[in-house]
Amino acid sequence: MQPRVVESGVVGELVDHRPAHLTCEGVRVGKVLLERGAEERDLVRQRRPIGAPFSHRDAFVKAIERLVLVELLFAELFHRRLVVDDDGHVLEQAEDLGRQPVEGALDEALETVVLRPKRLRQKRATRRMVARLLAAASKGHVHMLLSVTDEPESLVITVDTGERIHFLDWGGESSSLPPLVLIHGLASTSWAWAPIARRLRTQTHVIALDLRGHGLSDSPRSGYDLESLAFDALTVMVGSGWGTDVDGPPAVVAGHGLGAMVATVMAGVQPRSIAGLALIDGGWEALEESTGLSAPEFERTIGDPPEVLASMDAYLRDRREYDPDSWDSDQERAARAAVDEKHAGHVASVVRPFALHATVEAMFTYHPSAALAGVSAPVLVAIAESGTADDDTVRDRLAALDDVQRARAAAGAQPMTVRRFARAGHNLMRYRPDDLAAALLALLEESAHQRS
């Protein structure tokens, strides 16, 4: 079913005269978008004030009142910062609310319709409802609306310091395997893991989170050290009912690049909550040694040229041309999630400069041998090798891995399992999803066996 953009008055008509058989099919009705002028909501977060009231507000609210059954929120969260507010409510954009009184008034009115605030403070079952909101946005700012039954639940959880961390709950089959937590790399989002989550949700429960400063998670001015990022991820686990803090099962944690560092720190901070660890093309190297760069020099290498960022079409075309054969709807979703489309038409990374700077600085404090030597859980290392065996980079990466293996042996830890992916780029989730999913499944099975 393709989404259609219509005026909100038309939605009211659809609701008023809907056939009886549509009464319980709110999910399908949720695919209708409301057309709204640029002055009505600052979707691209340009900090421009609201120029006029929302003229269709009454029809909009009436439509929602008729469609939403308090316990049912019937569409996915797609645009940024639509998260739980400071009072535990549902529909406020926390960061922009103070500058947008019209939006705030509308959101407050809608909160009384879609969910009672007290429910959000209850346990896991109600957390799953937090981000199931009506997708209402202008044409061009909401990307692919896919069937809710095929897509993950988009949720947020508040950490002890007040920041909200967003994660995708892919659900999954109940099994004897540990649950699986997926953590993305630098300047990426949880959607990068979609190919793996789709393959493994039939085996176990899978979630993927947005690190702070990335995706739909909050971007505070502080808290980008690896330990803080690890505690954010552990809080997401607690919210899912996993880990020692809630007497839940331990989880296998897989991290890509930066995410591998965070996953390793999680295993050090709370080892009994981590059943297994997967380092996906990162986490066993010290960046200063592997790149030959300082943190500021490395930071300057991140980003895209102006012609790529000139428009969403140009950006997506660039990402697609990396490898046309692996480009699909999941890859487009991941690409779109990593950037904001600005009012003028160009795009920019969702990671703000101060967050990127602080995160890069934290990455350069990571010492892999010390961090991994004390990890008692099974460890999988997945190496993307785009070069040949005699390539200097390949040799240097394997030498760094040998150093970590020796440090673990000296500490009495078991050897890490190494999987080498020849002729593959850094984003193994995109280029080798079947092979990577198989390697992660083997780790899940090994972790389950070791815990039994």
Residue type, 313: D
> DSSP letter at 176?
S
Select from 291, 295, 435, 281 the least CA-distant residue to 357.
Answer: 295
Res 328: pLDDT: 95
Residue 281 backbone class (left: φ over 0; alpha: ψ -120 to 50; beta: rest)? left
Domain residue extents for the chain: 4-127, 153-451
Res 139: pLDDT: 30
Confidence of residue 337 (pLDDT cuts 50, 70, 90): very high
- Calculate mean pLDDT across residues 101-106: 50
Q: Among residues of the chain, what percentage have pLDDT more than 70?
A: 66
Select from 316, 326, 284 the least CA-distant residue to 435.
Answer: 326
Give the chain's mean pLDDT: 77
* DSSP per-residue letters across 16-77: HT--GGGTT-HHHHTTEEEP--TTT--TT---PPP-S--TTHHHHHHHHHHH--SS---S--
Res 404: pLDDT: 98
Res 354: pLDDT: 97
pLDDT (tens digit per residue) in 363-388: 999 999 999 999 999 999 999 998 76
CB neighbour list of residue 317: distance below 8 Å, 6 or more residues apart: none
pLDDT (tens digit per residue) in 32-67: 333 333 333 333 333 333 333 333 334 544 454 444
CB neighbour list of residue 29: distance below 8 Å, 6 or more residues apart: 14, 15, 18, 22, 67, 74
Q: How far apart are CA 109 and CA 37, in angstroms?
A: 20
Q: Does 443 score more than 80 pLDDT?
A: yes
Res 339: pLDDT: 96
Res 56: pLDDT: 37
Q: Does 118 score more than 80 pLDDT?
A: no
Residue type, 221: R
Element (H, E) at 103: helix 101-114
pLDDT (tens digit per residue) in 7-31: 444 444 444 454 444 433 333 333 3
Res 35: pLDDT: 34
Alpha carbons within 13 A on the beta-carbon side of 222 = 2
For 144-273, where are the E strands, in sequence order?
153-158, 164-171, 180-183, 206-209, 251-256
Res 140: pLDDT: 33
Alpha helices in 258-339 (DSSP H): 258-269, 287-291, 295-300, 312-322, 329-337
Predicted TM-score (pTM) above 0.75: no
Strand partners, 379: 277
Strand partners, 255: 183, 279
Res 108: pLDDT: 54
pLDDT (tens digit per residue) in 273-322: 999 999 999 999 999 999 999 999 999 999 999 999 999 999 999 999 99
Q: Does 440 score more than 50 pLDDT?
A: yes
Res 109: pLDDT: 55
Better-predicted residue by pLDDT, 146 or 267? 267
Q: How far apart are CA 336 and CA 318, in angstroms?
A: 12
CB neighbour list of residue 33: distance below 8 Å, 6 or more residues apart: 3, 4, 5, 6, 135, 136, 137, 138, 139, 142, 145
Q: 153-451: which CATH number, 3.40.50.1820, 2.160.10.10, 3.40.50.300, 3.10.290.10?
A: 3.40.50.1820
Res 314: pLDDT: 97
Measured between its terminal Cα atoms, the distance across the chain in Å is 45
Q: How far apart are CA 130 and CA 119, in angstroms?
A: 9
Confidence of residue 129 (pLDDT cuts 50, 70, 90): very low
